[in-house]
Amino acid sequence: MAPSVLSNPLRPAILAAARSGRVKEAVTRVPVTKSIVRRFVAGEALSDAAAAASALLGSGRAVSVDHLGEDVHDAEQARGTVAAYLELLAVLGRLPAGRFDGTHPLEVSVKLSALGQTLPRDGEKVALDHARTLCTAAREHGVRVTVDAEDHTRTDSTLSIVRELRADFPWVGAVLQAYLRRTEGDCRDLGGAGSRIRLCKGAYREPESVAYRSRADVDASYLRCLRILMGGDGYPMVATHDPAMIDAVAPLLAETGRSTDSFEHQMLFGIRDLEQVRLVDVGRRVRVYVPYGTQWYGYFMRRLAERPSNLRFFLRSTLTRD
Residue nearest to ligand FDA (CB): 241
Beta strand 264-268 pairing with 196-200: unpaired
Q: What's the CA gap between 180 and 190, in Å, rounded? A: 15
Looking at 224-308, which runs of residues are DSSP E strands? 235-239, 264-268, 286-292
By rule CB under 6 A, what string of x and - marks binding of each residue 122-161 to ligand FDA? Answer: --------------------------xx------------
Q: Is 70 in the site for ligand FDA (CB under 6 A)?
A: no
The residue from 61, 154, 196, 198 that is catalytic is: 198
Q: Is 285 in the site for ligand FDA (CB under 6 A)?
A: no
Judge whether 237 and 263 are in contact, CB under 8 Å.
yes
By rule CB under 6 A, what string of x and - marks binding of each residue 90-129 to ligand FDA? Answer: ----------------------------------------
Three-class secondary structure of residue 175 per DSSP: strand
Judged by CB under 6 A, the stretch of 47-55, 76-84, 162-170, 201-209 that binds ligand FDA is 201-209
Residue 213 C-beta: closest distance to ligand FDA, Å: 14
Nearer to ligand FDA, 182 or 272 (CB): 272
Q: Is 267 in the site for ligand FDA (CB under 6 A)?
A: yes
Cβ atoms < 10 Å from Cβ of 171: 18
Judge whether 84 and 67 are in contact, CB under 8 Å.
yes
Query: Which residues, in sequence order, are CB contacts of 269 under 8 Å at separation 6+?
Result: 40, 41, 42, 52, 288, 289, 290, 291
Q: Phi and psi (nearest 5°) for 24?
A: -60, -45
Nearer to ligand FDA, 289 or 292 (CB): 289
Query: Which residues, in sequence order, are CB contacts of 306 under 8 Å at separation 6+?
Result: 6, 7, 8, 11, 203
Q: Exactly one of 5, 6, 197, 249 binds ligand FDA (CB under 6 A); which one?
A: 6
b/e for 44-81, b at 16 or more Cβ within 10 A? bebebbbebbeebbebbbbbbbbbbbbebeeeeebbeb
By rule CB under 6 A, what string of x and - marks binding of each residue 158-177 to ligand FDA? Answer: -----------------x-x
Rg (CA), the chain: 19
Judged by CB under 6 A, the stretch of 83-91, 165-173, 226-234, 261-269 that binds ligand FDA is 261-269
Q: Is 186 in the site for ligand FDA (CB under 6 A)?
A: no
The residue from 11, 61, 144, 148 that is catalytic is: 148
Residue 322 C-beta: closest distance to ligand FDA, Å: 26
148 is catalytic: yes
Tell me the number of residues near ligand FDA by CB under 6 A.
26
Q: Is 271 in the site for ligand FDA (CB under 6 A)?
A: yes
Q: Exactly one of 62, 128, 200, 311 binds ligand FDA (CB under 6 A); which one?
A: 200
Query: Which residues, in sequence order, are CB contacts of 258 under 8 Å at separation 6+?
Result: 230, 252
Nearer to ligand FDA, 73 or 312 (CB): 312
Catalytic residues: 148, 198
In the complex, which residues of this chain contact ligand FDA (CB under 6 A)? 6-7, 148-149, 175, 177, 198, 200-204, 239-242, 266-268, 271-272, 289, 303, 306-307, 310
